[in-house]
């Protein structure tokens, strides 16, 4: 039996409440899974780490993250830490994790559970059963390129500059992630850029095309301009399977795609690094898209599904446990179909439950179908 090590970093606000529900799911799989079990360790990040160590993440916690097979992250931040120095603000903990673990690929699924299709701003027939994966390049592009500055000109005007930079290597490695994912899904990738107006778009297009030819000719590849992609996502989102794109377009398109499917409390994500040369394993961090929700923290109101589904992504992408991941997805869908809702996704005629009841219901559903 294989043992997988998990580092749990609940962080601040509702992070602790939603990670507690993930622990319930982990305990279930430890009891029932035949091929693997999980060993967990927990540490502080964000405001909680600042309160104890004066840092957004301690070196010791960072070392644990480097060693773990996957990190499961809750959320960080809150008004309590608004005034702390910039370098040790809660978000710095997440940024250090992304940087030190080399997490260059951000995976953002947009899945619409049939029971929630009416909560979408789009018509039911457009979103019901939707299952898209946006693969966003996370460590390059215009958010990091230099020069990045605001200068004052001789005439007193100011000029701001951000620089979009991509290299062949950066584009090729994210394209490979997208092609690998597509092979496990419906085998189709759209690559979104702006080659009509940006030199980085021209290179992006060339490198994705070459990588496709050399590495993944079995996958279907289509190129799409990023602005058209934004339109198509609200016109006919089901035409997409995997979309690969740069850091800036990915930021916007992943939020757009996700929001067609419902609430922040439902959205998981994964960030992956390069495969280790010896073991082939990728460093990985899994986290809900939402923040620490200080307005509802400590009240037992948080929706734990985004964090539980993030653990589901860990099963699928770090541990090759697709059967278990599918079972977890089905349990979430069944609980929603049975009418259970946390406050953020409450609809007329449904039964409102708190964080712990939602977690318990998902585990109960899992137990019902345990092999």
Mind telling me the catalytic residues?
143, 194, 227, 251, 255
Residues 6+ apart with CB under 8 A from 366: 25, 28, 327, 328, 331
201 or 291: whose CB is closer to ligand NAD? 291
77 or 201: whose CB is closer to ligand NAD? 77
145 or 294: whose CB is closer to ligand NAD? 294
As measured in angstroms, the least distance from the Cβ of 82 to ligand NAD is 8
19 or 363: whose CB is closer to ligand NAD? 19
As measured in angstroms, the least distance from the Cβ of 135 to ligand NAD is 18
The three-state (H, E, C) secondary structure of the chain, written as one string: CEEEEEEEEEECCCHHHHHHHHHHHHHHHHHHCCCEEEEEEECCCCHHHHHHHCCCCCHHHHHHHHHCCEEEEEECCCHHHCCCCHHHCCHHHHHHHHHHCCCCEEEEEEECCHHHHHHCCCCHHHHCCCEEEEEEECCCHHHCEEEEEEEECCCCCEEEEEECCCCHHHHHHHHHHHHHHHHHCCCEEEEEECCCCCHHHHHHHHHHHHHHHHHCCCCEEEEEEHHHHHHHHHHCHHHCCEEEECHHHHHHHHHHHHHCCCCHHHCEEEEEEEECCCCCCEEEEEEECCCCCCCCCCCCCCCCHHHHHHHHHHHHHCCCCHHHHHHHHHHHHHHHHCCEECHHHCCCCCEECCHHHHHHHHHHHHHHCCC
List contacts with ligand NAD (CB under 6 A).
14, 75-78, 91, 94, 264-265, 287, 290-296, 302-303, 306, 344
> What CA–CA distances, in Å, run from 271 to 117, 217, 268, 287?
27, 25, 11, 8
108 or 290: whose CB is closer to ligand NAD? 290
Residues in the chain: 371
As measured in angstroms, the least distance from the Cβ of 282 to ligand NAD is 20
Burial class (CB in 10 A: 0-12, 13-18, 19+), 235: exposed
237 or 268: whose CB is closer to ligand NAD? 268
103 or 306: whose CB is closer to ligand NAD? 306
As measured in angstroms, the least distance from the Cβ of 23 to ligand NAD is 16
């Amino acid at each position: 039996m294989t043992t997988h090590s998990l580092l749990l970093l609940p962080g601040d606000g509702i992070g602790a409440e939603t990670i507690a529900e993930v622990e319930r799911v982990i305990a279930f799989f430890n009891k029932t899974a035949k091929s693997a079990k999980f060993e967990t360790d927990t540490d502080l990040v964000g405001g909680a780490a600042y309160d104890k160590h004066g840092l957004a993440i301690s070196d010791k916690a960072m070392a644990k993250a480097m060693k773990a097979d996957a990190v499961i992250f809750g959320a960080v931040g809150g008004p309590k830490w608004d005034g702390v120095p910039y370098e040790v603000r809660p978000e710095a903990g997440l940024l250090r994790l992304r940087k030190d673990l080399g997490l260059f690929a951000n995976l953002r699924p947009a899945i619409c559970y049939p029971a929630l299709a009416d909560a979408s701003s789009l018509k039911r027939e457009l979103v019901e059963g939707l299952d898209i994966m946006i693969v966003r390049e996370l460590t390059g592009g215009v958010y990091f390129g230099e020069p990045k500055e605001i200068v004052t000109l001789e005439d007193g005007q100011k000029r701001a500059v951000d620089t979009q930079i991509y290299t062949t290597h950066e584009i090729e490695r994210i394209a490979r992630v997208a092609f690998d994912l597509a092979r496990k899904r419906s085998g189709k990738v759209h690559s979104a850029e702006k080659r009509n107006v940006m030199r980085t778009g021209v290179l992006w297009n060339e490198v994705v095309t070459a990588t496709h030819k050399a590495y993944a000719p079995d996958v279907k590849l289509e190129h799409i301009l990023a602005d058209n992609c934004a339109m198509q996502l609200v016109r006919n989102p089901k035409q997409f399977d995997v979309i690969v794109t740069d850091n800036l377009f990915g930021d916007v398109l992943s939020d757009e795609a996700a929001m067609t499917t419902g609430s922040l409390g439902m959205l998981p994500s994964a960030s992956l690094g390069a495969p280790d040369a010896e073991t082939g394993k990728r460093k990985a961090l899994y986290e809900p898209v939402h923040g620490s929700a200080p307005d509802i923290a400590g009240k037992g109101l948080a929706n734990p599904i985004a964090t539980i589904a993030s653990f589901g992504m860990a099963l699928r992408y770090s541990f090759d446990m697709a059967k278990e991941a599918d079972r977890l997805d089905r349990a979430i869908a069944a609980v929603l179909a049975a009418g259970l809702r946390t406050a953020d996704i409450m609809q007329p005629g449904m039964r409102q439950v708190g964080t712990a009841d939602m977690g318990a219901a998902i585990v109960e559903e899992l137990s019902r179908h345990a092999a």
